[in-house]
């Protein structure tokens, strides 16, 4: 993502444009026709400010190297610093830079001092040894809005309130008891996926990316609100797909004000703020409706909203849980629970199709264990050793959050003798770490067997493998996410044979990533699913 990505955010078309927007856009279109190169006059204005001003300043001030007391890093341009070096896939560009400047690298992104961590040792330093100093979040524009001004778990700064929210969520929302209680939901939704695949596969290739998203979106919605959000018996489209994609994009999309706090007004001018507000309002209205339904006897006492509304009345909590806290937590789970798991399933199937020997071994395992049973249940999954190795390998090569959610340093500190000033932003490049040939043999290859004879897991103690992060901010939904992905993958491998559409070979599979807070495939995964003899 380069410096102008935020302008792209501003100029790309919103998903749910209002009538007013079209009217406004018509006028701009006339202007842009005349200009013939820009999407809108406002964008042109913003480009001008951003291009001409730095160029002018460039001639007045020099590029600088980071001071010797900071970790090494590339030379910084005036104004934009190293923003231009992020590229379209920041995790990849940052890996290349860190090969030159080291596993603790210093950058300046706009006005923001930043460190990039690219080795297990440095990740351990930030997420374990100095976790208490680094466990806050930077006050990014979208984080502030989507967290109801710091009233959620994922995007709020570290504080006593955050600790309380995280504590009660761990006990009541993400607990082992709750994971167990949602077993039926996962089973029913995976059955719906299988039924949808049976129906759709008879008329041609299926869009597995769309179905993955829909599956996890419905599982998450039932966990939070007690109801599905797709049509009955359907696993092809989710009413909130566009809204969630929009939110994911804005959360990972590098908004201008996040790098130039004094230029936040440009985000208003370019329309990014309005776009953020529109998506926030869309989600807020939905959450309000669901809370109202629960308060008037709808919903279940055991879904997340039911549990949180009960806790709201609990005077022994030690703090008062407000409606905004409930909406903040629900929004986190809705956002964090769908795309992450969908990404794991779609990359998992992508790798399996590219690696037919692994695919066959996984199918032999599940079919050997299940015989003619008809469907895989969660108890069966515990015996699928090879399938679990596959999930680990998918998370190693395709961690859904390649840079985690950014952390920020709360006070001046030192790492390996270098000064890290207070408010330095920290990106942990877990994508680069889990592909580092110093720690992984044949690091770019998909080899689930590499996890066979060792105890490396993703629970945050092995710093060479951190798909869920580590320390105080480690993903609290790990168990909910992993069991759902395992169950879905086991069932679709058991019930279907998989192949590529006619005329395609595995070399033709598009591996391009769409960067955002969560990395999904850029193009949907389209596969041919052939039901096995069980369904003949």
Residues interacting with ligand HEM, by CB under 6 A? 153-154, 166, 332-333, 336-337, 340-341, 344, 400-401, 404-405, 467-469, 473-477, 480-481, 485
Q: How far apart are CA 478 and CA 341, in angstroms?
A: 10
Nearer residue to ligand HEM within complex by CB, 219 or 358:
219
Nearer residue to ligand HEM within complex by CB, 114 or 270:
114
- Minimum Å gap between C-beta 186 and ligand HEM is 11
Q: Strand pairing partners for 112?
A: 109
Nearer residue to ligand HEM within complex by CB, 157 or 205:
157
282: Cβ contacts below 8 Å, ≥ 6 apart: 16, 243
- Minimum Å gap between C-beta 57 and ligand HEM is 34
Nearer residue to ligand HEM within complex by CB, 85 or 332:
332
- Minimum Å gap between C-beta 224 and ligand HEM is 8
Name the residue whose CB lies closest to ligand HEM: 477
Residues 266 and 298: beta-carbon distance below 8 Å: no
* SS3 state at 105: strand
409 annotated ligand binder: no
Q: How far apart are CA 366 and CA 494, in angstroms?
A: 6
- Minimum Å gap between C-beta 401 and ligand HEM is 4
4: Cβ contacts below 8 Å, ≥ 6 apart: 47, 50
Cα–Cα nearest to 106, from 69, 80, 138, 137:
69
Nearer residue to ligand HEM within complex by CB, 28 or 173:
173
* SS3 state at 478: helix
- Minimum Å gap between C-beta 213 and ligand HEM is 13
- Tally Cβ neighbours within 10 Å of residue 201: 17
Please identify which residue in the block is written with the tokens 């370019």: 270
Residues 190 and 487: beta-carbon distance below 8 Å: yes
Q: How far apart are the first and last CA of the chain?
A: 48
DSSP state of 127: I
- Minimum Å gap between C-beta 153 and ligand HEM is 5
Nearer residue to ligand HEM within complex by CB, 355 or 429:
429
Residues 506 and 353: beta-carbon distance below 8 Å: yes
- Minimum Å gap between C-beta 467 and ligand HEM is 5
Q: How far apart are CA 219 and CA 132, in angstroms?
A: 33
Nearer residue to ligand HEM within complex by CB, 42 or 349:
349
Residues 433 and 120: beta-carbon distance below 8 Å: yes
Q: Residues forming the annotated binding site for heme?
A: 475
Q: Residues forming the annotated binding site?
A: 475
């Amino acid at each position: 993502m380069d410096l102008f990505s935020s302008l792209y955010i501003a100029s790309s078309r919103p998903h749910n444009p209002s009538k007013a927007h079209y009217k406004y856009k018509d006028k701009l279109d006339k202007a842009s026709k005349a200009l013939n190169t820009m999407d809108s006059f406002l964008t042109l204005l913003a480009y001008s400010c951003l291009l001409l001003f730095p160029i002018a300043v460039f001639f007045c001030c020099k590029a600088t190297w980071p001071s010797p007391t900071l970790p090494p890093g590339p030379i910084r341009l005036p104004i934009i610093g190293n923003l231009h070096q992020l590229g379209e896939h920041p995790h990849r560009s940052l890996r290349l830079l860190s090969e030159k400047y080291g596993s603790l690298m210093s950058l300046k992104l706009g006005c923001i001092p930043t460190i990039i961590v690219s080795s297990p040792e440095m990740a351990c330093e930030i997420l374990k040894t100095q976790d208490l100093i680094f466990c806050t979040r930077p006050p990014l524009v979208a984080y502030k809005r989507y967290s109801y001004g710091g009233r959620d778990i994922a995007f709020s700064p570290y504080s006593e309130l955050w600790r309380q929210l995280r504590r009660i969520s761990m006990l009541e929302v993400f607990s082992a008891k709750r994971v167990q209680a949602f077993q039926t939901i996962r089973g029913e939704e995976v059955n719906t996926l299988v039924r949808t695949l049976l129906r759709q596969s008879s008329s041609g290739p299926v869009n597995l990316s769309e179905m993955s998203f829909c599956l996890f979106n419905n599982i998450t919605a039932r966990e939070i609100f007690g109801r599905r959000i797709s049509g009955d018996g359907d696993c092809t489209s989710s009413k909130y797909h566009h809204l969630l994609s929009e939110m994911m994009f804005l959360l990972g999309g590098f908004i201008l004000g996040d790098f130039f706090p004094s230029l936040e007004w440009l985000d208003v001018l370019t329309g990014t703020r309005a776009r953020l507000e529109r998506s926030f309002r869309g989600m807020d209205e939905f959450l309000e409706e669901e809370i109202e339904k629960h308060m008037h006897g709808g919903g279940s006492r055991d879904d997340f909203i039911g549990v949180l509304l009960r806790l709201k009345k609990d005077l022994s909590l030690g703090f008062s849980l407000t409606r905004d806290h409930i909406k903040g937590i629900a929004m986190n789970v809705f956002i964090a629970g769908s795309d992450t798991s969908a990404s794991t399933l779609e990359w998992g199937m992508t790798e399996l199709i590219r690696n037919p020997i692994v695919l066959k071994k996984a199918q032999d395992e599940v079919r050997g264990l299940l015989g003619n049973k008809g469907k895989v249940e969660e108890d069966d999954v515990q015996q699928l050793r090879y399938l679990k190795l596959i999930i680990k390998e998918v998370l190693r090569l395709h961690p859904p959050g390649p840079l985690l959610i950014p952390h920020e340093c709360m006070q001046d500190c030192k790492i390996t003798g270098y000064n890290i000033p207070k408010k330095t932003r920290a990106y942990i490049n877990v994508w680069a770490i889990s592909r580092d040939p110093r720690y992984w043999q044949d690091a770019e290859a998909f080899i689930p067997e590499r996890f066979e004879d060792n105890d490396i897991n993703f629970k945050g103690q092995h710093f060479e493998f951190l798909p869920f992060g580590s320390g105080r901010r480690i993903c609290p939904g790990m168990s909910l996410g992993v069991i759902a992905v395992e169950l879905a993958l086991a069932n679709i491998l058991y019930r279907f044979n998989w192949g590529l559409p006619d005329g395609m070979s595995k070399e033709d599979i598009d591996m391009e990533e769409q960067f955002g807070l969560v990395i999904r495939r850029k193009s949907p995964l389209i596969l041919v699913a052939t039901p096995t003899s069980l369904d003949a």
